[in-house]
Amino acid sequence: MPISLGELATQFGCELIGDPDVVVNGVASLSGAAPDSLSFLSNVALKDQLRTTKAGAVILRAADADASPVASLIHDDPYACYARMAAVVCPPAVVEPGIHASAVVAESARVADSAQIAANVVVGDRSVIGESVFLGPGTVVGPDCTVGDECRLIANVTLARSVVMGVRGILHPGVVIGADGFGNAMTPEGWVKVPQLGGVRIGDDVEIGANSTVDCGALDDTVIEDGVRIDNLCMIAHNVRIGAHTALAAMVGIAGSTTIGKRCLFAGKGGAVGHITVCDDVIVAARTFLSKDVVKPGTYAASFPATDAKSWARQLARFRRLGDLIDRVKKLEKGGD
Amino acid sequence: MPISLGELATQFGCELIGDPDVVVNGVASLSGAAPDSLSFLSNVALKDQLRTTKAGAVILRAADADASPVASLIHDDPYACYARMAAVVCPPAVVEPGIHASAVVAESARVADSAQIAANVVVGDRSVIGESVFLGPGTVVGPDCTVGDECRLIANVTLARSVVMGVRGILHPGVVIGADGFGNAMTPEGWVKVPQLGGVRIGDDVEIGANSTVDCGALDDTVIEDGVRIDNLCMIAHNVRIGAHTALAAMVGIAGSTTIGKRCLFAGKGGAVGHITVCDDVIVAARTFLSKDVVKPGTYAASFPATDAKSWARQLARFRRLGDLIDRVKKLEKGGD
Amino acid sequence: MPISLGELATQFGCELIGDPDVVVNGVASLSGAAPDSLSFLSNVALKDQLRTTKAGAVILRAADADASPVASLIHDDPYACYARMAAVVCPPAVVEPGIHASAVVAESARVADSAQIAANVVVGDRSVIGESVFLGPGTVVGPDCTVGDECRLIANVTLARSVVMGVRGILHPGVVIGADGFGNAMTPEGWVKVPQLGGVRIGDDVEIGANSTVDCGALDDTVIEDGVRIDNLCMIAHNVRIGAHTALAAMVGIAGSTTIGKRCLFAGKGGAVGHITVCDDVIVAARTFLSKDVVKPGTYAASFPATDAKSWARQLARFRRLGDLIDRVKKLEKGGD
């Protein structure tokens, strides 16, 4: 959407150095930008690219403005400012109210007039679809769900049943919310399924990546608090609670009944075992799992980065012979007595 | 579904201490229970919650009955008994026979009159849908599949082709069964796809979690035996066999042509490499993978729980210098000669 | 499809030892083959099975022909030759041109006459579907996508938007391409979504396994080059580039902005952190992740295979006391001075 630098500066509280009437109509990286592109400099390692950019304007810190050959929008946090401006310059697809002829909506469901229900969507009994919601093609909303205003379920999303979403949520394709948790009781005749009867409660402004799953609770609800961000192929088990503004990168798994605090960060393939409590402001490194309660904010790690395979084989052999080494040291200690 | 304590005691072989005419109509945890709720005490750590519960009745062991302020249903295994009673008190949705107008069923397919084919379901050529089956919205059953009586495919499930399921199976949303295995032959011109021509055979009483995948066999079938439980986002590769009553927690991966025994348990993110055989009654710890045949029942592990990142960095550095340490000990040993 | 050994030998450049008029009409393993089956011997460990096979013909190396009791098709690479012949003997389902009545195709989309659009497919605005493409049931092609000639999207696949696929690609059920990357800027008010505006470009002859995800780029495109093979439940983050003929086994994750070279192999659950560059011809062992640039072709590893849990507990304790051991050796060294 075309917008002038003057309007952007006013709307987002930036100082503008340059012509307020210049119009941008797209966003781009510094090196890929054209004269109608808005760009940004956040990582100072890219400052060289700033000097030669052809962007219409660059969002940057005051300290970097001197190096800009083009108009500058000054902001203390150029990346966050860029994120907000980009949503204006390149807005998401407009919701086109109405229910597609191929969609199947239960009689007992309630769909706001301003919502868009796309082709082949199914909405189940007693579910409520809020204002300006977008239910993308192939999406299935099971019974007893609530989808808050302005949520977007992109395509082929499944809310199994009893899922309550706050406002402005985004669920990417293939996401499954509210499927049964993994509850089984062993008996002499084999596993007996433990009925999973809770639901899922999702706060406002939550985004969940493609093919991630959030199971319903066994008796109580699984809870995702406001502002949580979950990447692709993550697994949130039954009765988990994820604190507000926590972010989980791809392929993270949180096992059943675990509580994760607010503003935590899990890097890719990280996770936590079940039935533990993790305090606020915990960072978990890539491929690291928490095995017990965490009561102290900070960064936690336990992974081995790759090395060449021959060195690794030697290293693994040494590791396995640690007991021998300890015995040898003991022997030396005795000999030295 | 409302049911009296007397009926429950009779149906499930419990001793009842209390009024047989009291009716329960839901289940709940000890602390969350109302007077019409059935609850249970399995984990003795929760015994304090028993003393103050407001449940209509509690399933518990004889030894705990004295502490119950309400009616008691006595059972040696309260959790399994609860699982079975909960399925009666809170039964799954009733199957409503019929084929939705929006479903597309191939002429050569056979669908039992008692089956429910929901909105936007597709059933392919020559497939057979058994009695009281539920095919949920958006589910695709490809050609040459058999779905046994009373199976429930919740929503957006895909059986690609040549999948044979026994009775009473449950497939959660996003599950994909029978997609091609990962078979590729390297040539000077690049990879050549190896046609994947086998099917998948699934036994009775198998439950598979959201977004898990079970590939078809290359030539023979991939096999999931009776009573297997698979959690979300698991991967079962081509030509794997999973023994009866084995349970795989979330994000477990079993590589191609591996055979897993009966009653094995894999914790989250565990797995096994390809072309190995694992005996019955093997337990695999979280994030642990089996790299060779296992012939002895028992528990296997190999994972490092998280520690604070600074300690981990030191620990990792020590690990990498193990060779130096061994050399130093050798030198000491020589010096001591 | 029935075909004579003579035709196979001619078409694929094999020497035939045996009757050229014998017809095969299926493929099978050596031990499972019937007289109308084509089989192969690639792994010499199976040579015993060759001696008793009942196959109509066996593809094998010249050196193994003496041991064959049946007709032999001689080839230097029997597995690759088998892969190619099997695709002729057991061809994939024929594409039946036409758009199913239940499919919903945008007016601005273009679908080749030879393409098959199956039941409940949705094709979005301005998307282009090439010659002989198969869009399987439940597949959603969002706006601004191009699906090259002869691609097969098996079922319930989602191309979110702006995905360009080359020719002959195969996407298995549940695959999601072009969903938003995980871009978030932290602010005092919580995460701000960074609009994901790039697309995904996929080369020719790419196959992607069930429930894998490839995110769109933030500004530029995510790129999968020609001939890449990706197994199930893999995650390719935004702005990644995967080099030609690289293969990723199941559950591999490649974090954002990383470039992987050509002809690399990642074993199951392997991966790479973000913002690194990996050269051509790198092999990554199971459950191993690359944490920095790789400039030298070769094999990289860093995983611990399972051991029995008691031994592991001891080993883990020894590992944690490495600092003590080093101190003790230091003390011995000092004492020995």
Residues of chain B in contact with residue C137, where contact means CB-CB under 8 angstroms, are 104, 122, 124, 140
- What is the model's pLDDT at position C2? 94
Answer whether B210 sits within 8 Å of A179, measured CB to CB: yes
Rounded to an integer, the average pLDDT of B96-114 is: 98
Answer whether C90 sits within 8 Å of B195, measured CB to CB: yes
Radius of gyration of chain C (CA): 26
Question: How many Cβ pairs closer than 8 A exist between chain A and C?
Answer: 214
Q: Which chain A residue's Cα is nearest to C312?
A: A320
Compute how many other C-beta atoms are within 10 angstroms of the C-beta atom of residue C133: 26
Compute how many other C-beta atoms are within 10 angstroms of the C-beta atom of residue A259: 18
Tokens 């030198």: give the residue. B331
Closest-CA distance, C48 to chain B, in angstroms, reads: 18
Report the residue from B191, B253, B329 with minimal CB separation from C329.
B329
Q: Which chain C residue's Cα is nearest to A244?
A: C190
- What is the model's pLDDT at position A335? 83
What are the start-end ranges of the H helices in chain A? 5-12, 47-51, 78-89, 309-320, 322-336
3-state secondary structure of B122: strand
Contacting subunits of A (3+ beta carbon pairs below 8 A): B, C
Please return the burial class of A296, using the count of CB atoms within 10 Å of its CB with bins 0-12, 13-18 and 19+.
exposed
Closest-CA distance, C167 to chain A, in angstroms, reads: 24
pLDDT exceeds cutoff 90 at B173: yes
Structure tokens at A40: 């940004």
Closest-CA distance, A132 to chain B, in angstroms, reads: 24
Rounded to an integer, the average pLDDT of A269-293 is: 98
Q: b/e map of A48-62 (b: 16 or more CB within 10 Å)?
A: ebbeebebbbbbbee
Phi, psi of B223 (to 5 degrees): -130, 130
Answer whether C232 sits within 8 Å of B251, measured CB to CB: no
Q: List, for residues B50-91, the tens digit of each pLDDT value.
A: 999 999 999 999 999 999 999 999 999 999 999 999 999 999
Query: Which residue out of C75, C100, C172, C238 is catalytically annotated?
Result: C238
Strands C23-24 vs C3-4: parallel, antiparallel or unpaired: antiparallel
Q: List, for residues A128-185, the tens digit of each pLDDT value.
A: 999 999 999 999 999 999 999 999 999 999 999 999 999 999 999 999 999 999 999 9
Provide ipTM, 2 decimals.
0.96
Mean pLDDT of all residues belonging to chain B: 96
Question: How confident is residue B44, by pLDDT bands cut at 50, 70 and 90?
Answer: confident
| pTM of the complete model | 0.97
Residues of chain C in contact with residue B303, where contact means CB-CB under 8 angstroms, are 304
Question: How confident is residue B273, by pLDDT bands cut at 50, 70 and 90?
Answer: very high
Kindly state the DSSP code that residue C67 receives in the 8-state scheme.
G
pLDDT exceeds cutoff 60 at A337: no
Compute how many other C-beta atoms are within 10 angstroms of the C-beta atom of residue B115: 23
DSSP A163-225: EEE-SS-EE-TT-EEEEPP--EEEETTEEEE------EEE-SS-EE-TT-EEEPPSSS-EEE-
Query: Where on the phi/psi map is residue B314: left (φ > 0), alpha (ψ -120 to 50), or beta?
Result: alpha
Answer whether C138 sits within 8 Å of A138, measured CB to CB: yes
CA distances from B273 to B196, B276, B294, C282 (A): 20, 7, 12, 20
Report the interhelical angle of B309-320 vs C322-336 (nearest 10°).
Answer: 50
Torsion of Cα atoms, A232 then A233 then A238 then A240, to 10°: -40
Answer whether B309 sits within 8 Å of A299, measured CB to CB: yes
As beta bridge partners, residue B122 has B104, B140
Answer whether C182 sits within 8 Å of A86, measured CB to CB: no
Closest-CA distance, A172 to chain B, in angstroms, reads: 13
Interface test with chain B among C88, C90, C154, by most B beta carbons within 10 Å: C154
Catalytic machinery residues of B: 238
pLDDT exceeds cutoff 70 at B337: no
Answer whether B306 sits within 8 Å of A329, measured CB to CB: no
Mean pLDDT of all residues belonging to chain A: 96
Interface test with chain C among B219, B254, B264, B329, by most C beta carbons within 10 Å: B219
Distance CA C44, CA C131 (A): 42
> What is the widest separation between alpha-carbon atoms in chain B?
89
**How distant is the alpha carbon of residue C266 from its chain centre?**
10
Report the residue from C182, C185, C251 with minimal CB separation from A249.
C182
Closest-CA distance, A220 to chain B, in angstroms, reads: 8
The rounded percent of chain A whose pLDDT value lies above 90 is: 96
Answer whether B309 sits within 8 Å of A298, measured CB to CB: yes
Question: How confident is residue C118, by pLDDT bands cut at 50, 70 and 90?
Answer: very high
Residues of chain C in contact with residue A80, where contact means CB-CB under 8 angstroms, are 185-187, 192
Answer whether C273 sits within 8 Å of A269, measured CB to CB: no
Name which of B102, B82, B108, B106 is nearest B8 in CA terms: B82
Answer whether A185 sits within 8 Å of B210, measured CB to CB: no
Interface test with chain B among C12, C58, C156, C206, by most B beta carbons within 10 Å: C156
Closest-CA distance, A173 to chain C, in angstroms, reads: 6
Interface test with chain C among A27, A134, A135, A231, by most C beta carbons within 10 Å: A231
CA distances from B70 to B64, B146, B256, C321 (A): 12, 48, 53, 52
Answer whether A303 sits within 8 Å of C290, measured CB to CB: no
Tokens 């944690």: give the residue. C320
Residues of chain C in contact with residue A77, where contact means CB-CB under 8 angstroms, are 185, 187
Radius of gyration of chain B (CA): 26
Q: Which chain C residue's Cα is nearest to A334?
A: C332
Q: Is A238 an active-site residue?
A: yes
Tokens 């407009």: give the residue. A94
The rounded percent of chain A whose pLDDT value lies above 70 is: 99
The rounded percent of chain B whose pLDDT value lies above 90 is: 97
Contacting subunits of C (3+ beta carbon pairs below 8 A): A, B
Question: How confident is residue B194, by pLDDT bands cut at 50, 70 and 90?
Answer: very high
Question: How many Cβ pairs closer than 8 A exist between chain A and B?
Answer: 214
Sheet holding A128-129, edge to edge: A110-111, A128-129, A146-147, A163-165, A200-202, A222-224, A241-242, A259-260, A277-278
Query: Which residue out of A75, A238, A245, A275 is catalytically annotated?
Result: A238
Name which of C300, C270, B28, C67 is nearest A218 in CA terms: B28
Is the CB of residue A231 less than 8 Å from the CB of residue A195? no
CA angle, C20 then C26 then C30, to 5°: 85
pLDDT exceeds cutoff 60 at B336: no
Report the interhelical angle of C5-12 vs C78-89 (nearest 10°).
Answer: 120
Answer whether A215 sits within 8 Å of B232, measured CB to CB: yes
pLDDT exceeds cutoff 60 at A336: no
The rounded percent of chain B whose pLDDT value lies above 70 is: 99
Q: List, for residues A11-57, the tens digit of each pLDDT value.
A: 999 999 999 999 999 999 999 999 999 999 999 889 999 999 999 99
Rounded to an integer, the average pLDDT of B140-147 is: 98
Structure tokens at A49: 């690219």
Strands A298-301 vs B307-308: parallel, antiparallel or unpaired: antiparallel
